[in-house]
Amino acid sequence: MADDPYGTLGIARDATDKQIRSAFLKLAKTSHPDLNPGDPKAEERFKTINAAHDLLSDPERRARFDRGEIDGDGHERPPPGPPPGQRSYREHAQGPGGHHYSSGFEGDEDDLGDILSGMFGARGRAGARREGPDRRYTLAVGFLDAVRGATQRLVLPEGGSLDVRIPPGMQSGQILRLRGKGGSGEPPGDALIEVDVGSHPVFRRDGRDIHLDLPVSVAEAVLGARVTVPTIDGPVTMTIPEGSDTGTRLRLRGKGVPAVGDQPAGDAYATLRVMIGPKDAELARFLRDRTDAPAWNPRTALESAL
Amino acid sequence: MISLDILVVTVDGLDRGEVEHWIAQEWVRPHQGPEGWLFRDIDVARLRLIRELRYDLALDETALPMVLHLLDQLYATRRHLRRLTNAVDRHAPAEIRDAVVRALGD
């Protein structure tokens, strides 16, 4: 307990009753222990202020103190605070029953309020995270880019763009997932990009193999030849065996879809189409004058299928 | 829990009419029993606090509800903080606790 109640309240020794009361209220309002639950010294401060006020607000005791008959401790009223054996309001309010007087926004005690529920990106309850949504896009990819692999820019409808790496061998309907490139959140969502592969005037795809029709002349088919064949990674030279025909299928090993991971490269297949070409009087004469032509009907297969 | 009759004779400086007024203002929320109000320990402590704010500290009728509301928010925040520290204390790995303590010490 302070020895000088005037010093405790910060007033002069000739202060009026009104000044005493005013100084007391000013100090007491900031040190009431229930208003200062985080300050363990508030209670002691509050008791000192009250004792000083009690003494100085009683004219008789103030006069005795001024004459030096009693010291600053001589209070007769009970000290402030709950009666012995009872808990203060702050002890109740900070205990498990405290939520009885929760302020309106608190709802139930599991609701942690805005700051804590935003903490670590977690909501009050475990498991629920503020994940960003996935976003779906469609990307048109050229046939050769899809087969060989490429990087292509996707312009997003909501603005911005994504550089999409297309691995070799993509087919229409397959979906590329770009982690974290979807809607914002914690964690951000993914961008799901469905690939739409275009067609090609020359090449067709069947699994990992590439097919094309290869026109050849009558002479190339009959006599055999070395011809240049387009493939997905440039022209190559191929031998047409002597006596080939329309429908003859020749394989170019490893010239299909490139190897990816543990999947081996596919093959390319050239299906020959014998072309007669422009009118050839010499050829016509040879065929007309020929006396030993073999008896052969190319429509036999049609007839037997009917 | 105690009734209003018991309350006004056991707690110094509480007037029956004034307690009923404070209940009507919802500054204190006792349990509504079949035969009248029943006051828990926390209700009694709160009534004592309201009385001190109103008379010892001379808070007027208009400022009092604001003080109580701010006080309720203060205690709610302190309960949340206590739950958080308990959760970190009991469930976070030691290195996380150390990191938090270090971060708060800076």
- Return the pLDDT at A250: 95
CA–CA dist A141, A244 (Å, integer): 36
Higher pLDDT, A3 or A148: A148
Q: In this model, does residue A74 exceed pLDDT 70?
A: no
- By three-state DSSP, how is residue A288 classified? helix
Contact flag B76-A102 (C-beta cutoff 8 Å): yes
Given a cut of 80, whether residue A113 has pLDDT beyond it is no
| Three-state secondary structure readout of A27-44 | HHHHHCHHHCCCCCCHHH
A287: Cα within 13 Å, side-chain hemisphere: 6
Per-residue CA distances from A163 to A50, A166, A176, A181, A191 (Å): 73, 9, 12, 11, 12
Tens of pLDDT, residue by residue over A238-258, are 999 999 999 999 999 999 999
Answer yes or no: is the ipTM higher than 0.85. Answer: no
| Radius of gyration of chain B measured on its C-alpha atoms | 19
Among the partner residues B46, B73, B84, nearest to A103 by beta-carbon distance: B73
- Interface residue of B40, B75, B91 to substitute, partner A, most A CBs within 10 Å: B75
pLDDT attached to residue A141: 92
Nearest by CB to A103, which of B76, B82, B84? B76
- pLDDT of residue A122 exceeding 70, the answer is no
- Tell me the sheet residues that pair with A176: A193
Q: Is A193 helix (H, G, I), strand (E, B) or coil?
A: strand
Label residue A61 by pLDDT band (50, 70, 90).
confident
**Residues from chain B contacting residue A80 (CB–CB below 8 Å):** 52, 56
Query: What value does the mean pLDDT of chain A take?
Result: 85
Residues from chain B that touch A35, judged by Cβ atoms under 8 A, are 67, 71
pLDDT at A284: 92
pLDDT tens-digit map of A270-284: 999 999 999 999 999
**What local confidence, expressed as pLDDT, does residue A1 receive?**
47
Report the residue from B29, B67, B79 with minimal CB separation from A98: B79
Count CB neighbours of A150 within 10 A.
16
Interface A-B: count of C-beta contacts within 8 A: 82
The tokens of A96 are what?
A: 């498990």
Nearest CA-CA partner of A15 in A3, A28, A5, A27:
A5
pTM: 0.49
